[in-house]
Structure formats: C-alpha cells, structure tokens
Amino acid sequence: MSRSSVDAAVGETMEAEATAVELLSQINDILKYEDQTTSEMKLELPAQVLAEHTVNTRKTQKLMYTQLQVLKFLLDFLDSAPRIQDASDSTVRKEMEEAKKQWKALKADYQQQVEAIKGAVPQILAKQEEVQSRARLLEEALQRYQAKVLFSLAIIFAIDWQPEKRLLHYLKPSSTCSLYVESGYPDNGQVRLLSIKTQQGTVDVTSYKPPQEKPSLINWLVYLSTMDFNTPFPT
C-alpha cells in the first residue's frame, strides 16, 4: 500500500475515533437523563406508564449496543487497513464507505428514537399532573359533600365520626352503635354495622339490618334509632 493510502487510512481512523468519542458522550448524556427521569417518574407516574417507558428504554439501549458494535468493527477495520497488502485502494475505500453508511444510518435511527423518548416524557408528565390536579379537585368536592352530610346527620342523630378509621359511632341513651363506612361510599362502598355496646355488654349484630337491600347511612341510623337493644331481639 502506498504512503498516501496509509495516510488516508490513518486520517480515517482519527475521524472515526473522534466520532466514537462524540457518540459515547451522547450515550452518557442519555444515561444521565434516563436515571434522572426514571427517579422522577417513579414518584409521579403509574405502573403502566413506567412499564411502557422501560420498554422504550430497552429498545434504545439495544439500538445503541448495535451501533457500538458497528463502530467497533469500523475502528478495527481502519486500524488494520495500513497492514493490508493484497487489497487495492479502491476496494478498501469501498468497504470503508459501506461501513460508514451503515453506521450513519444507525446513528440517524438512534437519534430519532432518543428524540422521540425525550419528547414523550414531558407530555406524559404534563398529562399526569393534569390528572392529579383533577383528582385533587374531585377529592376536595367529595370531602365538602361528606362534611355537609355529616353536619345534617349530626343535627338529627348524636354521632361521632372518625374519618381516619372510617368509623361512625351512633350514641344512643343506653347504647352505642358503631358503623363502618367503606371507602368509595356512596357510589362504590357500603355501610356495615360493626358492634353494638349496651350497659349489659355487647350485642350480636348479625340479627340487625335495615330492610333495604343496600341500606345507606341514613337508613342505618333511622333503623338503629327505632331499636331497643336492652330487650331480646324477636325471633
């Protein structure tokens, strides 16, 4: 191989090495971005979104691994180029150009994938924030509604509400009835009678239930207000 061919091959090697440095720098940036984004998303995103993001990340990592394999082949080829004695300059250049084209195509595809992921994450986070904001508004409205209901009931019945335990105690003159209000009531939850305590002791609650199929809280209170737990339950 001529001196000019050797110089050209060395120049190509230096160019490929510079490209490799740039590529590795981009990969490090993406990995840092991924670590930071993943830690933030774990605090805010649901499991389904995190799973989709993880799949996209794995695809990107596989693409980068393939790209690095091609780049390693290119560097190894360029390093060995000055020692090739039985190949013509045109053949060497042709193989180098083919390898470069393959690498550039992979680089372009990789960059598109990276940009797509970077663009999708802020949109997902923005939608998540919007959903959380609406959920807070709904929760506040539900709390106001429940407060009004409890206030209305407290005017008629002597009740003590423990929201952290979701327990409502109905205080009668000679007994205390404890009701459990399931989460999601009144749409998705029910009211259950847990215990009845009198001066004589605890009463079996299995015999007491309002006539309605799914009694509401007011149904329970009205029903319990009519019951005398100091007398035996009729059988």
pLDDT tier, 9 (very low <50, low <70, confident <90, very high otherwise): very low
Whether 170 is covered by a domain: the verdict is yes
For residue 108, tell me if it sits in a domain.
yes
How many Å apart are CA 5 and CA 187, to the nearest integer? 81
Which residues, listed in sequence order, are joined to residue 193 by a DSSP beta bridge? 179
What pTM was estimated for this model as a whole? 0.42
Tokens of 15: 């160019």
Whether 167 and 220 map to the same domain: the answer is: yes
Q: pLDDT, tens digit, for every residue of 104-155? A: 777 777 778 777 777 777 777 777 788 778 878 877 887 787 778 778 888 8
In a domain? residue 25: no
29-57 pLDDT per residue, tens? 655 655 555 555 444 545 555 566 566 66
Name the helix (H) or strand (E) containing 82: none
Residues 181 and 196 in one domain: yes
List the one residue out of 198, 199, 180, 200 whose CA is nearest residue 190.
180
What does the alpha-carbon distance between residue 166 and residue 192 come to, in Å, rounded to a whole number? 11
Q: What region does 184 belong to: left with phi over 0, alpha with psi -120 to 50, or beta? A: left
Our CA angle for 190, 193, 196, nearest 5°, is 165
What is the domain extent for residue 204? 157-226
d(CA 44, CA 38): 10
Minimum mean pLDDT among 4-13, 20-29, 169-178, 180-189: which range? 4-13
Residues 144 and 182 in one domain: no
Domain count across the chain: 2
